[in-house]
A and B are shown apart, each in its own frame.
Chain A
Amino acid sequence: GNSVTQMEGPVTLSEEAFLTINCTYTATGYPSLFWYVQYPGEGLQLLLKATKADDKGSNKGFEATYRKETTSFHLEKGSVQVSDSAVYFCALSAAPNRDDKIIFGKGTRLHILP
C-alpha cells in the first residue's frame, strides 16, 4: 500500500542553521507530494507541493524536490528562524483528481534555538 516515512524528531537546531527533514514514500502510479506545517496550537497548513518528478516546491524559504528515482521529497531550508519551530508533515495524494485521500507521515517536530 501507499505510505510515507519521515525522519523522527525532535530536531533541534540553532537559528540560521541549515535544515533537512527527510521524507521517502511508497506509492503506485504518480503521486502528488506535500509538506504541511503545524504551528503550536493550530491546525495543519500546506507549506509546499510538487506534482511530478523533478518538480521543486518552494514557500517561505523552504524547498523540496520530487525525486522519483529515490522516491524522496526532502524538506530543506538554508537558514532557519525561531519562528520555524513547528511540526512538519510529509504527505502524498496517490491519485490526484480522483476520489482519493491524503496519506500523512508521522510528523517531525522542529525546535529552533535563538
Chain B
Amino acid sequence: DADVTQTPRNRITKTGKRIMLECSQTKGHDRMYWYRQDPGLGLQLIYYSFDVKDINKGEISDGYSVSRQAQAKFSLSLESAIPNQTALYFCATSVAGDYYNEQFFGPGTRLTVL
C-alpha cells in the first residue's frame, strides 16, 4: 500500500547536536509538510514544499531547516538541538490541486533533546 514513512521513529539526542529526520512517500504526491505536535497545542506547521524547487516557511521555522531531495523525500534538520524542540514530529503529503487539500500523515518521530 502506498505510504508515508518516517525515520527514525524515536530519537534521543543532546543539546547542541545536529539531527536529521527523514520522510519518504510512495504516494506520488507533489506536496510535503513537516509539523510539530506538542501536548495541548495541536499541530504547528514548520515547513512545507509544493514541489522540489518550492520550499516555504511555516509558522515555527526558526531553529529548523529542510531539504527536498526528490519528489518523494523531504528531510527536516535541527542544526543545534535544544530541549524545547522535544516534541512529536509529523511529515504529511497532499496532492496538488486536490479540492479538499486532504493530507496524509506519516507515523511520526518522537524526538527528545536532553
Partners in one complex: yes
**Interface residues, chain A, CB within 8 Å of chain B?**
32, 34, 41-46, 49, 51, 89, 93, 96-97, 99-102, 104-107
Q: Are A49 and B90 in contact (CB under 8 A)?
A: no
Q: Are B90 and A93 in contact (CB under 8 A)?
A: no
Q: Are A51 and B99 in contact (CB under 8 A)?
A: yes
Majority secondary structure, B binding face = loop
Chain B contact-residue range equals: 20 to 34
Majority secondary structure, A binding face = loop
Question: 8 Å CB contacts to A: which residues of B52-85?
Answer: 58
Determine whether B34 belongs to the interface, using a CB cutoff of 8 Å to chain A: no
Determine whether B87 belongs to the interface, using a CB cutoff of 8 Å to chain A: no
Q: Are B106 and A43 in contact (CB under 8 A)?
A: yes
Apart from A44-B43, A51-B99, what are 19 other A-B pairs with CB-CB below 8 Å? Answer: A32-B100, A32-B101, A43-B107, A43-B108, A44-B92, A44-B103, A45-B104, A45-B105, A46-B102, A49-B100, A51-B100, A96-B101, A97-B97, A97-B99, A99-B50, A101-B45, A104-B42, A104-B43, A107-B40
